[in-house]
A and B are shown apart, each in its own frame.
Chain A
């Protein structure tokens, strides 16, 4: 029986582990947190159809619980060394594992919005990120900005920490556009009286039913889209926010007072992925995400023979894309093990 070590117990790691167990292998998942499921634990509803995130997570975990694989939680990988076609893995829990193949599924981290100081996150009271808002969108979430007072006007800022040289991130995080549209609709459902504006540079509705949701946001929920990037936000004495942008389609500067400002934060490869890359001696792109052997046929292969990649450690990815990428990773590992037997 072949042993495969999966680094990361988010949805990518768990789905890969599940498929590899099905294929008859022995799998160990190493997860740094106490709980598996990764970032999906922190999300409430998923685009494009508002499926509750826990419904997807529970379905995945239930499937996983039927399988026989081991999970080492609150554990990190310290080193991965190749010796005679085996990988020797040392963990922070002092375990020494021997594996025939390794799958890196370390995922992403959210951009720290306080790095864009001009938007005032953690400086002004009513500037929040899309991740903060996601928690408030649960039925018991409190959306008020003052005692008993709901925000009357809300603005979303797209591309925070993405496509931005000043943040050091040139790439597009891909999922924030549709997240903004989804959250704007959810807010409008909860606060029908509120005016909601989205400040965008481009709206990249790349996925199935994304464009339709964007249209619905305009048609049914009166969400206003303004093409321009925010230059800054400042807090007024009543804690409302004055935001400045250009309305690029009319070619004039624009200012607006809002009660709540939501920053659509992008994805970064994060420390976990950097550590795994160092431990496995695999390369990163300039963006920090892990380099795949090619973008077409080898998107689950690292540069090191026997070390495979799954999910958003390779690029910003949605939940559905992550699940698919994880399943294909399992298949590639399985094929590779058969070939090298």
Chain B
């Protein structure tokens, strides 16, 4: 077949029907304080890593809630577990525990057909 140079573009819409909530549910069960994030960004503002590399700890919540497991796994390696974010958080979230829980379980829920 003649190649016209066209290709099928992967949809960038968040397909919520495909959302796999198992990792999210596991994290929330073990660390319920994570439910109340209001996305203020205080954590990222004080983050030791965010000044230097493109790491945004606030986005961990979003990635987890949108099932972006692949990106989440790479991103989470950048955290140095210093815990400054927890000193700032107006909702008292134990973010260090959240990161540890994700690290512990993420391999179980990685999508297979990528």
Q: Which residues of A contact B (CB under 8 A)?
A: 118, 159, 163-166, 201-202, 227-232, 244-248, 251-254
Contact = CB atoms under 8 A, between A and B. Distances in A.
Interface in B11-58: 38-47, 50-51, 56, 58
A275 B31 CA distance: 38
A212 B40 CA distance: 24
B92 interface: yes
18 contacts: A163-B38, A164-B90, A165-B89, A165-B91, A201-B38, A201-B40, A229-B40, A229-B90, A231-B88, A232-B88, A246-B50, A248-B40, A251-B44, A252-B44, A252-B50, A253-B44, A253-B45, A253-B51
A231 to B, nearest CB: 4
A228 B45 contact: yes
B103 interface: no
Given A227-B41, A229-B90, A245-B42, 16 more contacts: A163-B38, A164-B90, A166-B89, A201-B38, A202-B38, A229-B41, A229-B88, A230-B45, A231-B45, A231-B46, A231-B88, A232-B46, A245-B41, A246-B41, A248-B44, A248-B58
Contacts of A252: 44, 50, 56
A118 B89 CA distance: 12
A251 B39 CA distance: 11
Contact of A163 (B50, B88, B90): B90
B59 A251 contact: yes
Interface string B54-75: 0010110000000000000000
Nearest to A227: B41
Contacts of B50: 246, 252-253
B4 to A, nearest CB: 37
A228 B46 CA distance: 12
Contacts of B92: 165-166
Contacts of A228: 40-42, 45
Most A CB within 10 A of own CB, among B40, B56, B88, B92: B40
B90 A165 contact: yes
A245 B90 contact: no
Contacts, number: 70
B90 A166 contact: yes
Contacts of A245: 41-42, 45
A165 to B, nearest CB: 4
Contacts of A247: 41
Nearest to B92: A165
Interface of B: 38-47, 50-51, 56, 58-59, 88-92
**Contact residues of B: prevailing secondary structure:** loop
A243 to B, nearest CB: 9
Nearest to B44: A246
Contact of A251 (B56, B88, B89, B91): B56
A163 B92 CA distance: 11
Nearest to A247: B41
B63 to A, nearest CB: 12
A251 B56 CA distance: 7
Contacts of A232: 45-46, 88
B68 to A, nearest CB: 14
A166 B50 CA distance: 23
A254 B46 CA distance: 10
B56 A230 contact: no
A118 B50 CA distance: 19
Contacts of A118: 88
Nearest to A165: B92
A159 B38 CA distance: 13
Contacts of A202: 38
Nearest to A159: B90
A163 B50 CA distance: 25
B45 to A, nearest CB: 4
A229 B45 contact: yes
A230 B89 CA distance: 10
A231 B59 contact: no
Contacts of A166: 89-90, 92
A310 to B, nearest CB: 31
A246 B45 contact: yes
Nearest to A163: B90
A265 B92 CA distance: 20
A11 B44 CA distance: 42
